[in-house]
Amino acid sequence: MPQILSVQKIWDKATHNAFTDLVRFNGKWLCTFREAESHESWSNGIIRIIISDDCNSWESFGEIGEYGVDLRDPKLSVMPNGRLMLLAGGSQFFGVKNDDETALNLTRSPRVSFSDDGANWTTPKRLLAEDHWLWRATWHNGTAYCISKLGEGSNPRRGFLYSSTDGIDWQWITEIQVPGISESTLRFQPNDQMIALIRTSMGAYIGTSNPPYRDWDVNKLDLTVGGPNFLQLPDGSMWGSGRHHIRSERKGKRSRTALARMTTSTYDPVLILPSGGDNSYPGLVWHDDLLWISYYSSHETNTSIYLAKVRI
């Protein structure tokens, strides 16, 4: 059974700090997330990058903003040339809020930014067409792969697999036929098989595909996974994390961030991290034979960023 060795709040400077990712870069730790007024902020959301040598002391290191745009869900990756690449969604809201707190006249498109050091970032560049959202890129054999969710709100969402060698020019590969597809993370087996952990409006899916990744087998899970992420460890085991509705005898279903054992057809939450309310969107790094998990949660005071250290 996995064991939590420590959990530390590492950032709470903004009113709402959320949607994390975590990476090791040049011997240091970088954690990124969005700062805004709320989960669905009608004002600008900016991307914050913080840095640490030892995961105990953190300081602000970089910031990415775009006037009039809510930048959210930042995802970090290290490119084959050694540069950092950050993908994020860029949403613009016009007019006033509806009675149900949704925005009028929403438009969005993915953004990409690059850095040589994690502190200085290029101006965010728009990618693909309006209404796409490239969510998390995974590099494999010199190529980045990413699923873009297209469509929002009451319209059916569609998911398209793209690839790129530079993070700017993205080539369409195929449509993944999963109803209501949303946030998705891709990883690769040593035999080049691609595995996808997919969030949908009706539950989660695990998909597998072999090169050239045009044909997919998908398995529907009997649970939801919000902000899905997973890794394959050196021993071949796969571990996933995200937001789940955990049933409690005293309080019914509660939204918690959990760690799960995972195969290409199963997903079994086995460890609940200290969390609650608005939470999840973990970043995962395997380092020094430990699993390091960044995530956000609002179970204490305001919505804050946490880092957990877990022994598998």
pLDDT in tens, the chain (312 residues): 999 999 999 999 999 999 999 999 999 999 999 999 888 766 679 999 999 999 999 999 999 999 889 999 999 999 999 999 999 999 887 655 555 555 555 788 999 999 999 999 999 999 999 999 999 999 999 999 999 999 865 567 899 999 999 999 999 999 999 989 999 999 999 999 999 999 998 899 999 999 999 999 999 999 999 999 999 999 999 999 999 976 654 555 689 999 999 999 999 999 999 999 999 999 999 999 999 999 999 999 899 999 999 999
Give yes or no for a contact between 230 and 198, defined as CB atoms under 8 angstroms apart.
Answer: no
Check whether domain 3-311 has CATH 3.40.50.970, yes or no: no
pLDDT value of residue 254: 83
Element at 274 (helix H, strand E): none
C-alpha 166/C-alpha 168 separation (Å) is 5
Domain map (residue ranges) of the chain: 3-311
Give yes or no for a contact between 270 and 225, defined as CB atoms under 8 angstroms apart.
Answer: no
pLDDT value of residue 111: 97
Burial of 301 (0-12, 13-18, 19+ CB in 10 A): exposed
Neighbouring CB atoms inside 10 A of 246's CB total 18
* Beta bridge partners of residue 196, listed in sequence order: 186, 207
Neighbouring CB atoms inside 10 A of 106's CB total 15
Whose tokens are 């044909």? That residue is 215
Q: What is the DSSP letter of 124?
A: P
